[in-house]
């Protein structure tokens, strides 16, 4: 059985060898007759393969360069926007003190420390926040800064507003609150909302809001937060500093 199988396998192998030899002889004859054509085809194919690979590699490099150039353009745009953006700030300082070093005359200065602007206007809205362990109320103060002056400069101090004796009156109410700390335990905070409307040098109109609340790390606040405070200022009964007393604050705090 094994000899028969081996004989069949030998016959098949011999047949395959004869066929291969026949094809090899035919290829050899064709190569001998067409040697120049063969090498032309071979070299052409090799060159086409090489240059296709090189072209693909160059295309990939061009794509990477294009992506890098796009990133550079984006970075340049960010830098350009930053350099051409105004940077608003405001500060409050005391011009005059009484004998107890309590401020009598207080000024708020609104500044632009960035790119110059044009056609601007500013508004200051003042508030007091009264806070306890359980409640928190915000009351608007009307005409806290009653006297203002505009510089009409494109950069630097844009406007300054002044009040006289208002901070002292608030301090007196705060002192009275401390006398009743066991009854009420109030914490009073004074803060201001500054609105700046302006046009940039591309003639685009903008509105920026700044606020110096103690719970804010940055002066700049969102439009939504500003609208909430403006809603309080418009809808709530406003205190006037000359009529702001401890009794009026107690009445307002317990008014439903």
Instruction: Return the SS3 of 206.
Output: strand
Residue 2's pLDDT is what? 46
Stretches where the chain sits below pLDDT 70 are 1-28, 30-31, 38, 73-83, 97-101, 181, 256
pLDDT given for residue 27 in this prediction:
67
For residue 107, the SS3 value is strand
Global pTM value: 0.65
Using one digit for the tens of pLDDT, what is the confidence trace for 75-128? 665 556 556 788 899 988 887 766 666 777 888 999 998 888 888 889 999 998
CA atoms within 13 A on the CB side of 11: 6
Q: Are 75 and 67 in contact (CB under 8 A)?
A: no
What are the backbone angles phi and psi of residue 184, rounded to the nearest 5°? -110, -40
pLDDT value of residue 192: 93
């Amino acid at each position: 059985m094994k000899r028969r199988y081996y004989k069949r396998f030998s016959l098949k192998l011999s047949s395959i060898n004869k066929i291969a030899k026949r094809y090899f002889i035919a290829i050899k004859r064709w190569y001998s007759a067409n040697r120049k054509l063969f090498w032309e085809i071979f070299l052409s194919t090799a060159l086409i393969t090489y240059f296709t690979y090189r072209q693909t590699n160059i295309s990939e490099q061009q794509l990477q360069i294009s992506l890098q150039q796009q990133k550079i353009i984006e970075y340049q745009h960010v830098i350009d926007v930053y350099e051409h953006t105004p940077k608003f700030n405001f500060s409050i300082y005391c011009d005059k003190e009484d004998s107890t070093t309590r401020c009598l005359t207080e000024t708020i200065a609104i500044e632009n420390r960035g790119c110059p602007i044009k056609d601007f206007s500013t508004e200051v809205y003042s508030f007091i926040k009264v806070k306890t362990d359980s409640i928190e109320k915000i009351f608007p103060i009307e005409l806290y800064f009653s006297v203002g002056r505009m510089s009409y400069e494109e950069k630097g101090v844009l406007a300054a507003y002044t009040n006289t004796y208002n901070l002292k009156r608030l301090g007196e109410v705060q002192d009275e609150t401390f006398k009743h700390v066991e009854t009420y335990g109030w914490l009073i905070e004074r803060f201001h909302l500054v609105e700046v409307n302006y046009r940039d040098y591309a003639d685009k109109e903008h509105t920026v809001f700044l606020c110096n609340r103690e719970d804010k790390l940055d002066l700049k606040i969102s439009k939504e937060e500003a609208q909430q405070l403006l809603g309080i200022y418009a809808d709530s009964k406003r205190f006037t500093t000359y009529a702001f007393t401890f009794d009026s604050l107690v009445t307002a705090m317990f008014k439903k």
